[in-house]
């Protein structure tokens, strides 16, 4: 029996016992995880069966067709797309047992405490300090642009534990409970009127050493695993042809022939080709991941392309709408539970797309990553690379 046939049999056996129409949603998700049918490529005992990653899509489709509940992937994108693979790669067995199940079921939502007011593009310059105090770490600092922090129970956190070492070497990675005293979450209102993002202040926050992920001082290496997965999660997932922004603009073009001009036609054709190239490249990346390889710098290229095309298409949509493109619906201050890149109206899409070239790594930094790690070009001069962090100008 092939892996695919065995997997189908397991799904059928599971559904025979756990009917989604009569089983409470959370209980159904927990049972699916325990059966190894959550992340099928994860190890046995951690929501998977150790099967090829390429089979994940089929499992998800079979359960969706049966009416199975989902695990709120849009709400917990950071947990599912970034925290989980990092915990799997670097966590202890106790950490994997503690975190992966409630993370996958959506019982615990995660956020990311990486960027700081003075350390965004140059994340290694971060200044949030973690000082050892017995079996705990005392953390003080400020993080910014934290998506979903208002809803999160846990965070992935990088903090400086050794200011005497060079900036990349003195960082440690933690799993931070967001309910700890001393954590304050403040909304950051965006140009759309919403507040998806937050600034987070940490004042004498105590984190048990059992929630340190990996060795002390190895945080930069671990954070790069998170960032590579983040870029794939944002801009590297395979989609159907004419999905997303290109589909919205193409439908607009077909439904409103009176809006067409030769110049707009030329712009649309160029962007349609670029969107199709990006789609096919994302399929290639998915094939690499399905073969068991970890995401690398090509995820940066995909995220860079996604941001550029998304912004260009949202601008073209406004031009196609003419004067109606200047309309903007509701600018009420809201705290959305999940991000809707394509929802609402054209004005919202245009304004929200401005964030695409910042979140998940700025486009400028991603160009450096592609230039150095894909094209093999000389590295940008970094005069502070080997200096102790405490000697850096800030």
d(CA 160, CA 140): 10
Nearest CA among 155, 191, 149 for reference residue 173:
155
Q: Name beta bridge partners: 334.
A: 194
Residues 6+ apart with CB under 8 A from 16: none
Q: Is 142 left (phi over 0), alpha (psi -120 to 50) or beta?
A: beta
C-beta atoms surrounding 167 within 10 Å: 26
Q: How many helices (H) and strands (E) does the chain have?
A: 12, 8
Question: Are 328 and 347 in contact, with CB atoms under 8 Å apart?
Answer: yes
What DSSP letter does each residue of 256-267 carry, written as one string? -GGG--HHHHHH
Query: Treating both helix axes as pointing N-terminal to C-terminal, what angle do 25-34 and 93-105 enclose, rounded to 10 degrees?
Result: 140
Question: Are 166 and 132 in contact, with CB atoms under 8 Å apart?
Answer: no
Which residue, chain included where needed, has tokens 């349609």? Answer: 272
Q: Which residues are catalytic?
A: 230
d(CA 136, CA 143): 20
Please report, for residues 51, 308, 329, the alpha-carbon distance to residue 344 in angstroms, rounded to integers and kept in the order given.
Answer: 39, 21, 8
Here the tokens at position 314 are: 């949202």
Nearest CA among 44, 148, 147, 143 for reference residue 100:
44
């Amino acid at each position: 029996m092939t892996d695919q046939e065995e997997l189908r049999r397991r799904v059928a056996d599971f559904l025979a016992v756990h009917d989604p129409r009569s089983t409470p949603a959370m209980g159904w998700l927990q049972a699916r995880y325990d059966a190894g049918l959550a992340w099928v490529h994860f190890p046995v005992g951690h929501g998977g069966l150790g099967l090829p990653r390429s089979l994940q899509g089929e499992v998800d489709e079979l359960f969706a067709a049966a009416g199975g509940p989902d695990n709120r992937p849009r709400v917990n994108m950071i947990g599912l797309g970034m925290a989980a693979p990092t915990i799997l790669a670097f966590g202890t067995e106790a950490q994997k047992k503690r975190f992966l199940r409630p993370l996958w079921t959506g019982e615990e939502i995660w956020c990311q405490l990486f960027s700081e007011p003075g350390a965004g593009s140059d994340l290694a310059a971060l200044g949030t300090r973690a000082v050892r105090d017995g079996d705990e770490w005392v953390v003080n600092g400020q993080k910014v642009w934290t998506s979903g922090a208002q809803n999160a129970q846990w965070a992935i956190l990088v903090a400086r534990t050794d200011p005497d070492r060079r900036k990349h070497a003195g960082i440690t990675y933690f799993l931070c409970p967001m309910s700890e005293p001393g954590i304050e979450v403040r909304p950051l209102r965006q140009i759309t009127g919403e507040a998806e993002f937050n600034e987070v202040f940490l004042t004498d926050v105590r984190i048990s050493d059992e929630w340190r992920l990996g060795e002390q001082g190895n945080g930069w290496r671990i954070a790069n695993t998170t960032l590579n997965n983040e870029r794939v999660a944002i801009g590297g997932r395979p989609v159907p042809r004419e999905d997303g922004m290109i589909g919205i603009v193409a439908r607009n073009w077909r439904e409103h022939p009176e809006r067409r001009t030769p110049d707009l036609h030329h712009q649309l054709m160029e962007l349609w080709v670029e969107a199709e190239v990006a789609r096919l490249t994302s399929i290639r990346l998915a094939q690499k991941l399905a073969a068991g390889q970890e995401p690398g710098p090509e995820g940066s290229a995909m995220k860079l392309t996604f941001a550029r095309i998304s912004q260009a298409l949202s601008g073209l949509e406004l031009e196609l709408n003419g004067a109606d493109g200047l309309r903007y619906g509701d600018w009420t201050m809201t705290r959305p539970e999940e991000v809707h890149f394509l929802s609402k109206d054209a004005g919202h899409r245009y304004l929200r797309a401005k964030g695409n070239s910042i979140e998940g790594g700025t486009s400028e930094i991603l160009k450096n990553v592609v230039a150095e790690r894909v094209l093999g070009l000389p590295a940008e001069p970094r005069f502070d690379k080997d200096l102790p962090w405490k000697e850096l100008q800030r």
